[in-house]
A and B are shown apart, each in its own frame.
Chain A
Amino acid sequence: DQQVKQNSPSLSVQEGRISILNCDYTNSMFDYFLWYKKYPAEGPTFLISISSIKDKNEDGRFTVFLNKSAKHLSLHIVPSQPGDSAVYFCAASGNAGNMLTFGGGTRLMVKP
């Protein structure tokens, strides 16, 4: 049973446009959500996070939106750059600890 789902395995966007990556979760005990970025042959690196007490968190070109009632979060990248091309993982954790439950990832390709 996948508790964190990223339904789009890939996304292609033109440079300069907005990239929107989506993530859905089923476990209502999750209270902290993170996005990780992964380049080939490297480990995931932390990108941005959001606590369940907020509905938006912004860091430069990256904004994460959380809709608790829909159990949905999204990552917006504006403007998208070719260097953003990577696999993006959504992850969630709850009160049980720091253990992260990951989604399956979305491969973003930003075309020049």
Chain B
Amino acid sequence: DAMVIQNPRYQVTQFGKPVTLSCSQTLNHNVMYWYQQKSSQAPKLLFHYYDKDFNNEADTPDNFQSRRPNTSFCFLDIRSPGLGDAAMYLCATSRRWTGSGEAFFGQGTRLTVV
């Protein structure tokens, strides 16, 4: 059974048109992450939530925003997508903040910008 679910799997949006990607989890994990992965590159962390505390990576563009209305859901909003924002967007969760532990990933949303 899927534990981290991302919708949609594929998203096509127009240049400059706001788009929202969604993620839900059934694991009741405290921490949720959004990663951006471009072809043949490492997944790059955009931001993460520890419960409701939002943490933005220093180099995440202002064009990217996130919302976490409750434990189960987290959204990635791209206010004005550019061609360079086309990528796979991965949502992940983990139970703990400090120390170590594995992260559980969703299947990803592949975003195409036309």
Contact = CB atoms under 8 A, between A and B. Distances in A.
Interface string B58-84: 000000000000000000000000000
Task: Please classify how large the interface on chain A is, using the bins under 10, 10 to 19, 20 to 34, 35 or more.
Answer: 20 to 34
A25 interface: no
Given A41-B107, A42-B108, A44-B105, A99 B100 contact: no
A13 to B, nearest CB: 20
A97 B30 CA distance: 12
Contact of B96 (A2, A36, A46, A98): A98
Nearest to A92: B100
Nearest to A44: B105
A99 B94 CA distance: 9
B100 A93 contact: yes
A43 B109 CA distance: 9
Task: Please classify how large the interface on chain B is, using the bins under 10, 10 to 19, 20 to 34, 35 or more.
Answer: 20 to 34
Given A31-B100, A93-B100, A104-B42, A99 B48 contact: yes
A4 B44 CA distance: 12
A32 B99 CA distance: 8
Contact of B100 (A32, A42, A102): A32
Contacts of A73: none
Contacts of B94: 98
Contacts of A98: 31, 94, 96-101, 103
Interface string B84-114: 0000001010101111111111111010000
B39 to A, nearest CB: 11
Interface in A76-112: 89, 93, 95, 97-105
Nearest to A33: B100
B45 interface: yes
Contact of B107 (A31, A42, A95): A42
Interface of B: 4, 6, 9, 31, 33, 40-45, 48, 50, 90, 92, 94, 96-108, 110
Given A43-B90, A43-B107, 11 more contacts: A32-B101, A44-B105, A46-B102, A46-B104, A89-B42, A89-B43, A99-B33, A100-B45, A101-B45, A102-B44, A104-B42
